[in-house]
Structure 1
Amino acid sequence: MSFNRRGFIAALAGLCLLAVSAPPLPASAQQPYAETFMLGNGMQVVVIPDHRAPVVTHMVWYRVGSADEPQGKSGIAHFLEHLMFKGTTRFPPGAFSRIIRENGGEDNAFTSKDYTAYFQRIAKDRLGLVMDLEADRMQNLVLKDENVLPERKVVEEERRERTDNDPSSLLGEQLDAILYLAHPYRKPVIGWMSEVNKLTREDAIAFYKQHYTPANAVLVVAGDVTKDEVKKLAEEHYGKLANTFDVQPRVRTQEPDPIAPRRVTLTDARAASPLIQRSYLSVSYATAAKSEAEALDVLAEALGGGATSRLYKKLVVEKRLASYAGAWYSGDGLDSGSFGVYGSPVPGGKVEPVEAEIDAVLEEVKANGLTEDELKRTKATLIADTIYARDNQGRLARSFGSALTTGTTVQDVLDWPARIEAVTLEDVKAAAAKTLDIRRSATGVLLPAPGAPAGGGEPAMPSMSNSPEQ
């Protein structure tokens, strides 16, 4: 799927992980089987059997992310993710990950704009152990200033390393800030430094008590298990937990309909090469009409998914204006999505000709759509990708968790490849005409500082600031 190659593959990109039962695919590529059920306390459970190895991936997803943060507390969702490892009465600070490692497993967590997730990969006979650990910290987190304040310093340093010291990440952050005028998607997941460095233990506890409860969570288990095995363990460990509050619908400030394009230029001595990146406000899978989001996935792949894509062939191969060029569609948002294009001039080149050629390619596809050959090749690529991705148990689990926390269902995940196969030329043309409206766009330009040494530092690459923070 056309997407940010440096970022995490988010929810609807994760839908590509599932194989399809279309005739061209071999029997081994059929879509995986998944079952879902609810615990008595409202916690949803998804089971994805995968019996190739005696291991499991266990994930707990909370329906809360940076877009749900209180005003002035940006970064609190990600900060709390860090603090969830600081211990409970039963398991002191550091014990959670230590126990996982001692049992041969691995664990981590990540936060996005719409969800926060915690995961472990471990031998199947340790599944009850990880459920015990995760259920305990769902309700019994203990926070003290002596471990909260140092962890805030860790988050501040993470922001410096991943964002403040990376010009392309700074550009992506600024681009989000102007693409969204009102919606909280405009905030970076990691938070603005001016607010992160003021977050307190009380802020974290309040956010924890407001969002962490079984009815606001989804449990996903993929691996060498059956539904009955998972259900027994889930009821034993999670089912006994009472909800500490009534979960309310997530109501956010809605983005007004765009009426004018926006633009930002960032000049940075650390940038090795110029970069132009444009984002268009679009529908997401949760908000799209029938076939619309799937058409945008196809469009992104056809425009910028690789060496055979339109943007790459036109800008890199034929015109030799760009070192690279591409496109992506991020359809995983609960409230909206975004469609992006980008390109970087060849050494010594200028941004203006690259932008002009990108505009020409976009106008051509808006006017005439794709060719039958492009449509066929692109759909085959997207579907073929599902075959290879099935080998990654963790990515399978992520595809379901991210979908269920952003407004779609297990069946939506399973049906995705068939819906891609059903996309028509008319669907793609209509989606392009609606989405690629310059009034719906924000354009960012990254330029090396005048006089900066040519070729210094890392090449500028597009950055999507809605990639989850770990």
Structure 2
Amino acid sequence: MLASGPLRAFLTLLSVVVAALPAGAQSTDSVFPFKVHEKKLANGLNIVVVPTDYPDIVALQIPVRVGARNEVEPGRSGFAHFFEHMMFRGTDRFPAEKYNDVMKEAGADSNAYTTADFTNYHTTFSKADLETVLMVEADRFANLKYEVAPFQTEARAVLGEYNKNYANPINKLLEVQRDHAFKRHTYKHTTMGFIADIERMPEMYDYSRTFFDRFYRPERTTLIIGGDVDPQNVFALVEKHWGSWKRGGHTSEIAVEPPPTGAIYHHIPWSSPTPTWVTVGFRGPAASDEKPDMAAMNLISGLAFGQSSPLYRQLVIEGQKVDQLFAYFPDSRDPYLLTVMARVKRKEDAWAVRTAIQETFRKLRDERLPADRVTAVKSRLRYSFANDLDNSESIVEALVPYVALYDDWSA
């Protein structure tokens, strides 16, 4: 919807933003000025190595291409997020307690998160423990083991997490928005899953094993390793410890979302006093190796809804109708939503705020954006991105969404 007229007119201006990461592996003029070394093992595992000048520290990110998007079977949502928890349950060789001891001795800080499109495991540790960490991580990705009792314990913990998260009205609002915005695509449910599925999860031990067997496979996984490392040494160590991991072959048929047929309005009443929030969402573009539309939409978010935008000045500074205004547009493998969120001071102004946001979208469609503002926001995005690359962990973390979402990310 927003890719017409003015958007296409300035896509060429944006190309430097889109090209930044791929070119960064080759050019010191890029916003990503680090050499990237890549290798793919025979089993399909991808390896990305980024040497940095930060001594003695290594950062490891392991994005796996499984998220809520892959949960296509009715009644079985939430398992991608569930395994974010279960992956710390241990193996025969390294039970949970031993795994934790090994990582603690390495000074490792390990965690994970789940998105609609991928699950990412990350840790930072000392250079001396590189082989140990690669060995332990290889074991848990290939040989995760858990029995019925700990599975059910974790499933009940996930239900508690859901109840806590969605007692927050903003989280509930975004959950309802997704449910109404998508009819067929699995973006309809959040990464936690539908509540009815979470409640039944303790009964689905056998299916959990099937889910793990399908999706935790080398061809879906990338190791991104950065820091005080030698690429050839890293490649050899990964081959040694990860090369025997068996390739899978499962594919998910993701339903194609039909084009929207009109506006959808939904009001969420709340049982206790809470600030009034207004959200307006439009279908956005997907990650694409050929089209820079997603990068263009990120630029639009800053131009139209950032703190220097006319709308922010109208609603927050001058009109005093809103005290928070921002756009939310996560990178996604399939078309998702560009959502504008506004916290309204007086609930009576909610409709006027909604109208002002929609009018801004109309102007984006019908009017050309000022070139000087486009240039300024583009420069700010480049500076902000480059400024965050101040340690090995942030450097490899910056690559995660590109590796996880794009088939030809380094082209």
TM-score, normalised via structure 2 length: 0.88
* Aligned residue type for 1:214: P
* Aligned residue type for 1:122: F
Q: Secondary structure at the match of 1:61?
A: strand
Shift of 1:276: 0.4
Shift of 1:290: 3.0
Q: Which residue number in structure 2 is paired with residue 402 of structure 1?
A: 401
Q: Which residue number in structure 1 is paired with residue 317 of structure 2?
A: 317
| TM-superposition CA deviations, 1:443-466 (whole Å, max 9, x none) | xxxxxxxxxxxxxxxxxxxxxxxx
CA distance in 2, matches of 1:298, 1:27: 21
Shift of 1:27: 6.9
Q: Evaluate the alpha carbon distance shift between residue 385 and residue 408 of structure 1 in structure 2; reply closer, same or farther with a 3 A threshold.
A: farther
* Aligned residue type for 1:264: H
Q: Evaluate the alpha carbon distance shift between residue 353 and residue 20 of structure 1 in structure 2; reply closer, same or farther with a 3 A threshold.
A: farther
Q: Which residue number in structure 1 is paired with residue 5 of structure 2?
A: none
Shift of 1:251: 2.6
Q: Which residue number in structure 2 is paired with residue 144 of structure 1?
A: 147
Shift of 1:152: 1.1
Q: Which residue number in structure 2 is paired with residue 224 of structure 1?
A: 228
Q: Evaluate the alpha carbon distance shift between residue 151 and residue 72 of structure 1 in structure 2; reply closer, same or farther with a 3 A threshold.
A: same
CA distance in 2, matches of 1:369, 1:176: 30
CA distance in 2, matches of 1:263, 1:353: 15
Residues 69-468 of structure 1: pairs in structure 2 closer than 5 A: 69=71, 70-163=73-166, 165-199=167-201, 200-243=204-247, 245-248=248-251, 250-286=252-288, 290-305=291-306, 307-330=307-330, 332-347=331-346, 349-411=348-410
Q: Evaluate the alpha carbon distance shift between residue 326 and residue 216 of structure 1 in structure 2; reply closer, same or farther with a 3 A threshold.
A: closer
Q: Secondary structure at the match of 1:366?
A: helix
CA distance in 1, matches of 2:78, 2:257: 21
Give yes or no for contact 1:218–1:401 (8 Å, CA) kept in 2. no
Q: Which residue number in structure 2 is paired with residue 433 of structure 1?
A: none
Shift of 1:126: 0.9
| TM-superposition CA deviations, 1:377-408 (whole Å, max 9, x none) | 11111111122111143333233232222234
Give yes or no for contact 1:276–1:351 (8 Å, CA) kept in 2. yes
CA distance in 1, matches of 2:74, 2:339: 28
Q: Secondary structure at the match of 1:190?
A: coil
Q: Secondary structure at the match of 2:268?
A: strand
CA distance in 2, matches of 1:343, 1:89: 50
Q: Evaluate the alpha carbon distance shift between residue 225 and residue 89 of structure 1 in structure 2; reply closer, same or farther with a 3 A threshold.
A: same
* Aligned residue type for 1:55: I
CA distance in 1, matches of 2:195, 2:347: 34
- Residue segments in structure 1 that go unaligned for 5+ positions in a row: 1-13, 413-470
Give yes or no for contact 1:344–1:354 (8 Å, CA) kept in 2. no
Give yes or no for contact 2:280–2:357 (8 Å, CA) kept in 1. no
| TM-superposition CA deviations, 1:143-198 (whole Å, max 9, x none) | 112211111121111111222x1010000000011111110011110112211122
| TM-superposition CA deviations, 1:39-88 (whole Å, max 9, x none) | 12110111111122311111222211112122211111111221111111
CA distance in 2, matches of 1:37, 1:338: 34
CA distance in 2, matches of 1:183, 1:92: 37
CA distance in 2, matches of 1:16, 1:317: 35
* Aligned residue type for 1:134: E
CA distance in 2, matches of 1:378, 1:355: 25
Q: Evaluate the alpha carbon distance shift between residue 188 and residue 130 of structure 1 in structure 2; reply closer, same or farther with a 3 A threshold.
A: same
TM-score, normalised via structure 1 length: 0.78
CA distance in 2, matches of 1:396, 1:271: 42
Identify the range of structure 1 (28-37 vs 141-150) with the bigger mean alpha-carbon deviation.
28-37
Instruction: Indicate whether 1:61 and 2:63 are aligned.
Output: yes
* Aligned residue type for 2:47: V
What is the aligned-residue identity percentage?
A: 23
Q: Evaluate the alpha carbon distance shift between residue 391 and residue 155 of structure 1 in structure 2; reply closer, same or farther with a 3 A threshold.
A: same
CA distance in 2, matches of 1:81, 1:19: 29
Choose between structure 1 and 2 for higher RCO, CA contacts under 8 A separated by at least 6 residues.
1
* Aligned residue type for 1:71: P
Q: Which residue number in structure 1 is paired with residue 3 of structure 2?
A: none
Shift of 1:20: 8.1
| TM-superposition CA deviations, 1:81-105 (whole Å, max 9, x none) | 2111111111113332332123211
Q: Evaluate the alpha carbon distance shift between residue 358 and residue 216 of structure 1 in structure 2; reply closer, same or farther with a 3 A threshold.
A: closer
Q: Evaluate the alpha carbon distance shift between residue 309 and residue 271 of structure 1 in structure 2; reply closer, same or farther with a 3 A threshold.
A: farther
* Aligned residue type for 1:78: H
* Aligned residue type for 1:365: L
Give yes or no for contact 1:18–1:396 (8 Å, CA) kept in 2. no
Q: Secondary structure at the match of 2:229?
A: coil
- Residue segments in structure 2 that go unaligned for 5+ positions in a row: 1-16
* Aligned residue type for 1:397: V
* Aligned residue type for 1:38: K
CA-based RMSD of the aligned residues comes to 2.5
